[in-house]
Amino acid sequence: MLKSPASDSTSAPINRAETKAKIEASEKAFSLNAKDKYYALLFLGPSLLILGIFIFYPMFKTLYLSLFLTNTVGKPTVFVGLSNYINLLTSADYLNSLAVTMVYVLAVTALTIALGLLLASLASKKIAGIGFFRTLFSSTMGVSVSVAAIFWLFIFNPSTGFLSLISTWLHLPAIGWLTDPTWAMVAVIITTVWMNLGFTFLILFGAIQSVPTTLYEAASIEGASSRFQFFHITIPSISPTLFFVSIVTLIDGFKSFGLIDLMTKGGPTNATNMLVYRIYKDAFYSGNFAQASAEALILTVIIALFTLLQFKVLEKRVNY
Amino acid sequence: MNVVAKPKIAKNVWNYLLLSVLALVVLAPFFIGLWTSFLPTMQIAKGNFLSTDLSFQNYVDAFTQTPILHYLGNSLVISTVTMFAQLLFCSMSAYAFVFLDFKYKRSLFVLVLATMMLPFEAEIIPNFSTVKAMGLLNSYSVMIIPFLTSAFGIFMLRQSFKQMPAELKEAADIEGLGHLQFYWRIVMPYNRISLITLGAYSFLGAWNQYLWPMLTTFSNSFRPVQNGLRQLQSEETFNDWGMIQATAAIVVIPTLIVLFVGQHYFKSGANEGAVK
């Protein structure tokens, strides 16, 4: 696990110059290292303290709580081993939450990447005024979760909303956005994709810009169509970035809370009751801290797996 | 020549058409929101979306009848302090991992990296007990202290510091600069683009916090803007769409301006630090 970050440091000489520098450094080491220790404490201490209190300790505490039954103020009472987990993984309600989260995360990631890629490749065309479009395409990056929720809640509003007006004008049947289980999910997905688009566009655009132009020139001479160039030059060249953005979008999707709370409150009939919203409800509404802790740990495992996957790819790309 | 030029023009027209349609789709929610923010709620309720009865009344109401400015002020304080704290503590930690020699350096770095795998959202239960025990509930500090540093920031700055030319450190050693001086006078200015990028990330991150402030603040004096907007919707103003859209516009317009102005830095930095 995490092999590369660990293996980068002082013991692995990469080239001669670095080895030489290291020998010199170790010659000085006797006088410097003693002091370095105190500087390390000063420089690293605050960060380690904060990470310890608010990231490490709570993870172990969550694990601990998840193995007990808890009373209404969250104090552990009876040790129950894994039964909180067994109860969860056999409960149709929780499995539904897992399933809707998966649907949401996969749909959001696929649509964000596809649309981001479309915008980024169009914005890479060298035509006059393209900079203006780039700015517009990245604009949703400046939208926070509650502003996005207000915009889209109005658009989806069943009585006076923009879409209901359109469907009235066009004499189309009204869609129960936010009140119908399926459409509520669609509405939340659309809003999330819209919010993600600005950031994804910028990152993918940056990646496309860094593809060597000689590749395209050579392909043009060979008479390759722009469609061929997109699939055989652009996509392979930016695949590490595509992967990186996909994982980031995926992880953000699993952590989704704000939009759910603002738009659907997990409803209708649990159709959008995703993992984080559930943890919040079970802990702070129902007072079932033990079960919520088990849910939190399952979420941690899911996200940790995807983050590890991301590190694996990063380690190939990042210059250690 | 004409024969060659024509398809090219046709192709450009097609490109501009496609770009414009997509820009319109992306911007539609802004336009709809902005337009309704100028309409009286009465007209919106009646479905008179194309009413020409436009005015700034919703904005006047938003400023005078809601604490929207106070919410914005709270968010500004929280995000600014969080940003500077992260710039300081992340850069100090990154410095230690790059320029200092000490025991357990590798293990500590792996430990910091490992925290990137642990979502804060999954740790709210013990963290809530912790800040409650510390007596921090309903204050600015409760929204700042857990985010004084970030594993991502440490990682990103470490990558950046590692790419500094070795001659800089050698020259500093010859000049007799101590670690504090080298850190503050050489390393920090040299890595300003990465620092600006991290600053933007941490500011936006704090600005967009939602779940944690919702759990830990219960009064308008400390409520940040994200939760403030939710509060307005759940209060008596619930169906006052005109005013709600005005509050959304008040929140989003400054962010968009900052984004467009700062985009140059953000773009180059984002590619440099995160995904290169």
Q: What is the pLDDT of residues A94-130, one digit of tens each?
A: 999 999 999 999 999 999 999 999 999 998 888 888 8
First to last CA, chain A: 16
Cis preceding linkage at A268, omega within 30: yes
Cα–Cα dist B10/A175, whole Å: 39
pLDDT (average), residues A145-160 = 89
| Cross-chain Cβ contact B89/A46 below 8 Å | yes
pLDDT (average), residues A31-52 = 84
| Cross-chain Cβ contact A210/B229 below 8 Å | no
> Which of B47, B226, B260 is the closest to A145 by Cβ?
B226
Domain B67-236 superfamily per CATH: MetI-like (1.10.3720.10)
Confidence label for A252 from pLDDT (cuts 50, 70 and 90): very high
Cα–Cα dist B155/B163, whole Å: 13
pLDDT (average), residues A51-76 = 90
Min distance A38 CA to chain B CA atoms (Å): 9
Q: Are B44 and B244 contacting, i.e. CB atoms less than 8 angstroms apart?
A: no
Helix (H, G, I), strand (E, B) or coil at A82: coil
pLDDT (average), residues B35-49 = 83
Cα–Cα dist B271/A205, whole Å: 10
- Residue environment code for A172-199, b if the CB has 16+ CB neighbours within 10 A, otherwise e: eeebbbbebeebbbebbbbbbbbbbbbb
Amino acid at position A314, single letter:
L
Helix (H, G, I), strand (E, B) or coil at A313: helix
pLDDT at A32 over 80: no
Which residue in A has a C-alpha nearest to residue B24's C-alpha?
A: A136
pLDDT at A7 over 70: no
| Cross-chain Cβ contact A241/B260 below 8 Å | no
Residue A175 structure tokens: 């869609």
| Cross-chain Cβ contact B122/A62 below 8 Å | yes
How much is the mean pLDDT over chain A?
Answer: 85
- For A257-312, the pLDDT digits (tens) are 999 999 999 878 899 999 999 999 999 998 899 999 999 999 999 999 988 888 77
| Cross-chain Cβ contact A318/B102 below 8 Å | no
Confidence label for A16 from pLDDT (cuts 50, 70 and 90): low
Task: Say what percent of chain B tops pLDDT 90.
Answer: 55
**What pLDDT does B264 receive?**
59
> Which of B32, B128, B256 is the closest to A139 by Cβ?
B256
Residues of B in contact with A142 (CB under 8 A): 252, 255-256, 258-259
Among A96-110, B64-78, B259-273, the minimum mean pLDDT is found in: B259-273
Helix (H, G, I), strand (E, B) or coil at A122: helix
- The better pLDDT of the pair B259, B111 is held by B111
Q: How far is CA A87 from the centre of its chain?
A: 28
Amino acid at position B203, single letter:
F
Best probe of the A interface among B13, B17, B26, by most A CBs < 10 A, is B26
Residue A183 structure tokens: 């459409």
Residue A69 has phi, psi (to 5 degrees) of: -95, 145
pLDDT at B144 over 90: yes
Q: Are B45 and B239 contacting, i.e. CB atoms less than 8 angstroms apart?
A: yes
- The better pLDDT of the pair B147, A223 is held by B147
Between the CA of residue B106 and those of A6, A11, A53, B102, B166, what are the distances in Å? 6, 10, 21, 9, 20
Confidence label for A63 from pLDDT (cuts 50, 70 and 90): very high
Cα–Cα dist A200/A113, whole Å: 7
Report the predicted TM-score, pTM, of the whole model to 2 decimal places. 0.85
Min distance A104 CA to chain B CA atoms (Å): 18
Best probe of the A interface among B100, B143, B163, by most A CBs < 10 A, is B100
> Which of B12, B112, B127 is the closest to A54 by Cβ?
B127
Which residue in B has a C-alpha nearest to residue A256's C-alpha?
A: B121
Q: Which domains does chain A have, with CATH numbers?
A: 3-65 (no CATH), 85-317 (1.10.3720.10)
pLDDT at A315 over 90: no
Q: Are A280 and B248 contacting, i.e. CB atoms less than 8 angstroms apart?
A: no
Residues of B in contact with A62 (CB under 8 A): 122-123, 125-126
Q: Are A154 and B32 contacting, i.e. CB atoms less than 8 angstroms apart?
A: yes
Best probe of the A interface among B8, B111, B121, by most A CBs < 10 A, is B121
| Cross-chain Cβ contact B32/A138 below 8 Å | no
| Cross-chain Cβ contact A207/B271 below 8 Å | yes
**What pLDDT does A272 receive?**
93
Confidence label for B258 from pLDDT (cuts 50, 70 and 90): confident
First to last CA, chain B: 42
Among B41-50, B66-75, B191-200, the minimum mean pLDDT is found in: B41-50
**What pLDDT does A273 receive?**
94
Min distance A123 CA to chain B CA atoms (Å): 8
Confidence label for A17 from pLDDT (cuts 50, 70 and 90): low
Residues of B in contact with A157 (CB under 8 A): 241
H/E segment holding residue A19:
helix A16-51
| Cross-chain Cβ contact A5/B26 below 8 Å | no
pLDDT (average), residues A207-236 = 86
DSSP A89: H
Residue B187 structure tokens: 């390393």
Q: Are B95 and B178 contacting, i.e. CB atoms less than 8 angstroms apart?
A: no
Residue A31 structure tokens: 């006088």
**What pLDDT does A320 receive?**
35
Min distance B80 CA to chain A CA atoms (Å): 16
Q: Tell me what ipTM this predicted complex has.
A: 0.86
Write B57-64 long-range contacts (CB < 8 A, 24+).
B57/B242, B58/B242, B58/B243, B58/B245, B58/B246, B59/B246, B59/B249, B59/B250, B61/B240, B61/B243, B61/B246, B62/B243, B62/B246, B62/B247, B62/B250, B63/B250
**What pLDDT does B266 receive?**
52
**What pLDDT does B236 receive?**
58
Min distance A174 CA to chain B CA atoms (Å): 14
How much is the mean pLDDT over chain B?
Answer: 87
Amino acid at position B269, single letter:
G
Confidence label for B98 from pLDDT (cuts 50, 70 and 90): very high
**What pLDDT does B29 receive?**
94
| Cross-chain Cβ contact A151/B248 below 8 Å | yes
Domain range annotation of chain B: 2-57, 67-236
Positive or negative CA dihedral for B235, B255, B213, B139? negative
**What pLDDT does B2 receive?**
45
DSSP A77: E
**What pLDDT does A251 receive?**
92
pLDDT at B256 over 80: yes
